[in-house]
Chain A
Amino acid sequence: QQPVQSPQAVILREGEDAVINCSSSKALYSVHWYRQKHGEAPVFLMILLKGGEQKGHDKISASFNEKKQQSSLYLTASQLSYSGTYFCGTQPSGSARQLTFGSGTQLTVLP
Chain B
Amino acid sequence: DVKVTQSSRYLVKRTGEKVFLECVQDMDHENMFWYRQDPGLGLRLIYFSYDVKMKEKGDIPEGYSVSREKKERFSLILESASTNQTSMYLCASSLLGPAIWFFGPGTRLTVL
A interface residues (Cβ-Cβ under 8 A, vs B): 2, 5, 29-30, 32, 34, 40-44, 47, 49, 87, 89, 91, 96-104
Contacts and interface: CB of A to CB of B under 8 A. Distances in A.
Q: Which of A32, A43, A101 has the most CB of B within 10 A?
A: A101
Nearest to A91: B98
12 contacts: A2-B44, A30-B98, A41-B103, A41-B105, A44-B100, A47-B98, A97-B31, A97-B48, A97-B56, A99-B33, A100-B59, A103-B42
A104 B103 contact: no
A87 B43 contact: yes
B90 A2 contact: no
Interface of B: 4, 31, 33, 35, 40-45, 48, 50, 56, 58-59, 90, 94, 96-98, 100-106
Consensus secondary structure, chain A interface: strand
Nearest to B59: A100
Contacts of B101: 32, 34, 42, 44, 89, 99
Contacts of A102: 42
A15 B58 CA distance: 39
Given A41-B104, A42-B43, A103-B41, 13 more contacts: A2-B42, A2-B44, A29-B98, A41-B103, A42-B103, A44-B100, A47-B100, A87-B43, A96-B97, A97-B48, A99-B45, A100-B59, A101-B35
B33 to A, nearest CB: 7
Given A40-B105, A41-B90, A101 B43 contact: yes
A2 B55 CA distance: 21
Contact of B106 (A2, A41, A43, A47): A41
A97 B50 contact: yes
A2 to B, nearest CB: 7
A34 B35 CA distance: 14
Give the 6 A-B residue pairs with the shortest CB-CB distance, closest first.
Answer: A103-B42, A41-B103, A101-B43, A44-B100, A101-B42, A104-B42
B13 to A, nearest CB: 21
A43 B92 CA distance: 11
